Amino acid sequence: MSLSSILNRIDEDLPQALDRLMDLLRIPSISTDPEFKADCARAADWLVADLRTLGFDAASRPTPGHPMVVAHGGEGGPHLLFYGHYDVQPVDPLSLWDRDPFDPEIQDSPKGRVIRARGASDDKGQLMTFLEALRAWKAEYGTLPCRLTIFLEGEEESGSPSLIPFMKENAQELTADIALICDTGLFEDTSPAIVTMLRGLLGEEITITGPNKDLHSGMYGGAAINPIRVLSRILGNMHDDTGRITVPHFYDGVTELPDAIRSQWQALAFDHAKFLGDVGLSIPAGEQDRTPLEMIWSRPTAEINGIWGGYTGNGFKTVLPSKAHAKVSFRLVGEQDPFAIRENFRAWVSEQVPEDCTVEFHGHGAGPAGIMSIDDPAFEAARAALTEEWGRPAAYVGCGGSIPIAGYFQTILGMDAMLLGFGRDDDQIHSPNEKYDVECFHKGIRSWARVLAKLTA
- Say if residue 416 is in the same domain as residue 357: no
Pairing status of strand 178-181 against strand 79-85? parallel
In a domain, 204, yes or no: yes
- Say if residue 29 is in the same domain as residue 172: yes
- Say if residue 230 is in the same domain as residue 184: no
In a domain, 288, yes or no: no
Q: How far is Cα 402 from Cα 121, in angstroms, rounded to an integer?
A: 16
Q: Give the pLDDT score at 268.
A: 85
Whole-model pTM: value is 0.81
Q: How far is Cα 108 from Cα 115, in angstroms, rounded to an integer?
A: 9
In a domain, 295, yes or no: no
Q: Give the pLDDT score at 311.
A: 94
> Is residue 334 a contact partner of residue 199, using CB atoms and an 8 Å limit?
no
Pairing status of strand 323-332 against strand 200-209? antiparallel
Nearest to 200 by CA among 340, 61, 348, 320: 340
Residue ranges of alpha helices (H) inside 278-323 are 292-297
**Tens of pLDDT, residue by residue, the chain (457 residues):** 689 999 999 999 999 999 999 999 999 999 999 999 999 999 999 999 999 999 999 999 999 999 999 999 999 999 999 999 999 999 999 999 999 999 999 999 998 999 999 999 999 999 999 999 999 999 999 999 999 999 999 999 998 999 999 999 999 999 999 999 999 999 989 999 999 988 989 999 999 999 999 999 999 999 999 999 999 999 999 999 999 999 999 999 998 988 878 888 888 878 999 999 989 999 999 999 999 999 999 999 999 999 999 999 999 999 999 999 999 999 999 999 999 999 999 999 999 999 999 999 999 988 888 888 888 999 999 999 999 999 998 989 998 877 878 888 998 999 999 999 999 999 999 999 999 999 999 999 999 999 999 999 9
Q: How far is CA 184 from the centre of its chain?
A: 8
Domain hosting 361: range is 200-254+300-367
Q: How far is Cα 308 from Cα 312, in angstroms, rounded to an integer?
A: 8
Q: How far is Cα 168 from Cα 178, in angstroms, rounded to an integer?
A: 17
Number of domains in the chain: 2
- Residues facing 359 on adjacent strands: 208
Q: H/E element holding 81?
A: strand 79-85
Q: How far is Cα 214 from Cα 133, in angstroms, rounded to an integer?
A: 60
Task: Tell me the torsion sign for CA atoms 216, 218, 221, 224.
Answer: negative
CATH code of residue 389 = 3.40.630.10
- Say if residue 350 is in the same domain as residue 386: no
Q: Give the pLDDT score at 1.
A: 65
Q: Give the pLDDT score at 265.
A: 87
In a domain, 437, yes or no: yes
CA angle 224, 230, 234 (to 5 degrees): 165
Q: How far is Cα 96 from Cα 319, in angstroms, rounded to an integer?
A: 32
Nearest to 87 by CA among 63, 109, 108: 63
In a domain, 139, yes or no: yes
Integer distance in angstroms from the first to the last C-alpha of the chain? 9
* Four-CA torsion 130, 135, 138, 140, nearest 10 degrees: -110
- Say if residue 134 is in the same domain as residue 243: no
Which residues, at least 6 apart from 336, have a Cβ–Cβ distance to it below 8 Å? 200, 250, 252, 253, 254, 300, 368, 369
- Say if residue 173 is in the same domain as residue 237: no
- Say if residue 316 is in the same domain as residue 242: yes
Residue ranges of alpha helices (H) inside 284-437 are 292-297, 338-351, 377-390, 404-411
Q: Give the pLDDT score at 247.
A: 98
Q: Give the pLDDT score at 409.
A: 93
Which residues, at least 6 apart from 210, have a Cβ–Cβ distance to it below 8 Å? 224, 225, 226, 227, 230, 321, 322, 323, 324, 356, 357
- Say if residue 186 is in the same domain as residue 220: no
3-state class of 201 per DSSP? strand
Nearest to 423 by CA among 443, 397, 451: 443
Could you report the per-residue pLDDT of 161-201, keeping only the tens digit for each?
Answer: 999 999 999 999 999 999 999 999 999 899 999 999 889 89
Q: How far is Cα 249 from Cα 51, in angstroms, rounded to an integer?
A: 47
- Say if residue 356 is in the same domain as residue 435: no
Q: How far is CA 384 from the centre of its chain?
A: 25
> Is residue 105 a contact partner of residue 87, using CB atoms and an 8 Å limit?
no
> Is residue 211 a contact partner of residue 200, using CB atoms and an 8 Å limit?
no
Asked which of 367, 392, 413 is the last residue of a domain, the reply is 367
Q: Give the pLDDT score at 4.
A: 96
Distances (CA, A) of 161 to 31, 153, 166, 174: 11, 11, 10, 18
Nearest to 11 by CA among 446, 326, 455, 450: 446
Asked which of 313, 342, 367 is the last residue of a domain, the reply is 367
Q: How far is Cα 190 from Cα 392, in angstroms, rounded to an integer?
A: 8
